Amino acid sequence: MNRPVRIPRHVQISNALRRQIDERELLPGDLLPSEADLCGSFKVSRSVIRQALDTLVRDGVVKKAHGRGTVVSVGPELQRNPLWSAGLSTQMAKLGSRVSTRVLSYEIEDVPTSIRGLAGPQALRLERLRFVDDQPTAFIRTWLPCELSALITPDILENASLHEQLYLKAGWVVSTGNRQVRATAARAPIDGLLDVPAGYPLLLLEGQSTEQHGRVVEVFSTWHRSDRIAFDISENPQNNPVMSGNGDTPEIRKALENAQSLMENALAEIAKLTARPGIR
């Protein structure tokens, strides 16, 4: 019989403090209780409290302020527009953030029945971990046509934009695609890759992209850390680095309405997830 995994006390405390920050009980710039007060609240030694605070400092959630104590970090909010066909790398770079990518897997596999739109029984399965300002921010699983394996190698995709390589190597311009947004709970191995507790709320963006002639060139799922990425529904699709043409059409207005509804549902799901026992 397997014994339940016992979570170290300092991890429980760092998760509890992180939850207060995520749920806006503690705001950017707020001073955390003193180490002595935290020892009293959690009934642990000062060394355990320091371990918990060190974890939050390492993750950039809080910082030490000389002469004040520990304060909630104030950082720029990274916003991604899920309607844009431009990928996460391009959007974050436009915000001035430092973006890097690690290729985790690159294999030709049979296409699952859940993956629709790609031609042929097999496809290239690509998994990447994306860092924004050196912090793990998104895990991306992408299915691509097999023929790309002869053009785009894993080393080319390290710290590079997939969409840019599709254009440079295959002449494909990613122009449009379907997008869906929902909230989900972090599960292994994604929780470890994104450095969050199991069950932590993530924003999942799923969809497919087509090239300029209408062929589906990718089917993707991207899990984002909800504490680092916010989805912003722009009312001006002409700002899309890839999309061009008239931005005020009934189709685009309908897409914006649908996306707004999806975001409202996703936020409601995140509220439910953060209220569950164990996400503390």
What is the Cα–Cα distance from 123 to 125, expressed in whole angstroms?
Answer: 6
What is the Cα–Cα distance from 84 to 200, expressed in whole angstroms?
Answer: 26
Mean pLDDT rounded to a whole number for the chain? 80
Model pLDDT for residues 40-98, shown as the tens digit of each residue: 999 999 999 999 999 999 888 898 888 889 998 865 555 555 555 555 656 556 556 77
Nearest CA to 261 among 196, 182, 203, 194? 182
C-alpha count within 13 angstroms, C-beta hemisphere, residue 138: 28
pTM tops 0.75: no
Residue 2's pLDDT band (boundaries 50, 70, 90)?
low
- Tokens read off for 208: 């497919």
Hey, what domains does the chain have and what are their CATH numbers? 9-72 (1.10.10.10), 78-274 (3.40.1410.10)
Residue 146's pLDDT band (boundaries 50, 70, 90)?
very high
228-244 burial, b for 16+ CB within 10 Å, e for fewer? bbebebbeebeebebbe
Could you tell me if 239 and 158 are in contact, meaning their C-beta atoms sit under 8 angstroms apart?
Answer: no
Could you tell me if 223 and 138 are in contact, meaning their C-beta atoms sit under 8 angstroms apart?
Answer: yes
- Tokens read off for 96: 């001035």
Residue 138's pLDDT band (boundaries 50, 70, 90)?
very high
Residue 274's pLDDT band (boundaries 50, 70, 90)?
low
Model pLDDT for residues 4-16, shown as the tens digit of each residue: 668 899 999 999 9
